[in-house]
Amino acid sequence: MDYTTLIPVMRELAILAGEKIMEIYEADDFDVKVKSDDSPVTAADEAADALISAGLRAAFPDVMLVTEEQSDSHKAKGDTFLIVDPLDGTKEFIHRRGDFTVNIAYVQNGVPQRGVVYAPARNRMFFTQENGQAVEETGMFDPKKVGTITPINVADSDNAALFVVASKSHRDQATDDYINKYNVKDMKSAGSSLKFCLVATGEADIYPRVGRTMEWDTAAGHAVLLGAGGQVVRFDDHSPLVYGKEDFANPFFIAYAPKVDLKEA
């Protein structure tokens, strides 16, 4: 994969998809449907998926593409592919809470190598540059012109006073029980893949996920966190979280800055 071509394409498609999403988000009303797995889907999910898929297939016709909204794509197998969640945090979108993102990532040999996470309602964008360094962009988010770029890095964590981020829509007792094993200075909730990005910027030290996620939910945020010096491991044995699994379902996991002294499950 030529990263000098990939990164601008992913960034541009994320911004264009974000514009589509915000058109629907700011409308007076929008329809919500329920998929076969009982998860919600909106016109924004579908419009963003169509836009991103068309763009990636045109630019990279020989690379396998997996997207949340196209179930046929899940039948393809391999450990190297593009993977998309066109609207991560649909519940946040439906309830107009703003914590939703566009996620696009490139996975090679089971590892998310490059990714972009764009939160259009929050005016925040994170992506990995060609060299793998994670950055945050600020500015007007012009699809053709990159704004101000700031490299991001994980925190130099203090295990006596950790900052924890957890899911806004999927918080449960098991998550709280695990968090209670740490010396927590402060805790915040966030939706979608923004939780990975808060660890990547040093705004949080650790994000434990004791609940179901799919690879398209996590790959882009995972790539950004890796590019900022962080890590993502399985909850059960602390081995690296890998991609290209049979059903694209993730085990429970922990995303964290390396100075965090991880506790056993």
Binding residues for substrate: 68, 87-90, 217
* Largest Cα span, the chain: 50
Tokens describing residue 152: 């991001």
E strand map for the chain:
32-34, 40-42, 65-67, 81-88, 101-108, 111-119, 124-128, 134-138, 148-151, 162-167, 184-190, 206-209, 213-214, 231-234, 249-250, 253-256
Measured between alpha carbons, how far is 125 from 105 in angstroms, rounded to an integer? 14
Q: Are 90 and 42 in contact (CB under 8 A)?
A: yes
Place of tokens 């925190």: 155
Pick out the residues of the known binding site for Mg(2+).
68, 85, 87-88, 217
Measured between alpha carbons, how far is 172 from 68 in angstroms, rounded to an integer? 24
Q: What burial class does residue 110 get, using C-beta atoms within 10 Å of its C-beta: 0-12 exposed, 13-18 middle, 19+ buried?
A: middle
Measured between alpha carbons, how far is 250 from 196 in angstroms, rounded to an integer? 15
Pick out the residues of the known binding site.
68, 85, 87-90, 217
The three-class DSSP label of residue 40 is strand
Measured between alpha carbons, how far is 262 from 265 in angstroms, rounded to an integer? 9
